[in-house]
Amino acid sequence: MRITMLGTGAAFPDPDRAQSGILVTLDNGRHYLFDCGAGITRNMVRANVSPSEVTAVFLTHLHHDHVCDFPQFVITGWMWDRQDSPVVIGPKGTQHFVSHLFEGGAFKADFDARSYYARRKTNLAAVRPKVIECEPGIAYQDEHVTIRCDWVEHIPREISECFGIRFEAEGKAVAFSGDTAPCESMVRLAQDADLLIHECTFPQSFIEHRKKSGVGIFAHTSPTELGQIAARARVKRLLPTHFGHFDSTSALIKRIARHHFPVEEMGPHLMDDVVRDIRKHYAGPLQLATDLLRVDL
């Protein structure tokens, strides 16, 4: 199988990265998408894959940086002659999110305009996604893949559920954390995986800063903690992702982020610190994710 990192950034628009999105392509050509943050559909096209050909989308949680390209993904599939309904798997609230987008929803005017054309009337299924709100356990299965999921620790569950996943196909296992603080469920999902794709949103100093600043969520995994998780789960390969702009050189991001981060510390040199801290505990193959990075398993 082939893994294409469509987006490796976090909640801010980032000049260097799209938001969260991972495409898994089986040897038989079937595609599965994990998360659909801003910029994912465009990067999918850059990777030479049509949104109309993606079988299923798993949304790990409903933070905007994991879902806000979903309308673009679905409407593009509709315009590009998709015939079936995309399957969307996600936490509680996914049905609400999807039901309020297309017919009668936020994109009603687009739906009314486009469905006026004869050819678009023939594939309305493409803009009527089938939603599965998952529970911990097997979230989705077809003759090619099994997707297991479990709750992770990012947003209090009574506010909004967040899932990590384990994707199994072709005798291989890939685990993806979504967004989370270190948690036992992720260690279990990642056990002996061929590849662990795990969030690494902030260095430790940024997490500490955010705990005090009262801005946004600080339930993320530090590089040192990620090294411990990868070592405990005995993963064969580690791909940290969902980088929270801490390495940015953008003057605008630095100016805007001053209430969020210790901006005087920001810069690409922090990626060296990330690797150093992961290496305190994990000695296996390690690569920091970048947009459009391809991994063959």
Q: Where does this chain bind Zn ion (CB under 5 A)?
A: 63, 65, 179
Taking the least distance from each CB to Zn ion, the nearer of 124 and 181 is 181
For residue 179, the minimal CB distance to Zn ion (Å) is 4
For residue 68, the minimal CB distance to Zn ion (Å) is 11
For residue 67, the minimal CB distance to Zn ion (Å) is 10
Taking the least distance from each CB to Zn ion, the nearer of 63 and 148 is 63
For residue 164, the minimal CB distance to Zn ion (Å) is 12
Taking the least distance from each CB to Zn ion, the nearer of 82 and 154 is 154
For residue 216, the minimal CB distance to Zn ion (Å) is 9
Taking the least distance from each CB to Zn ion, the nearer of 11 and 229 is 11
Distance of CA 121 to the CA centre of its chain: 32
Taking the least distance from each CB to Zn ion, the nearer of 179 and 277 is 179
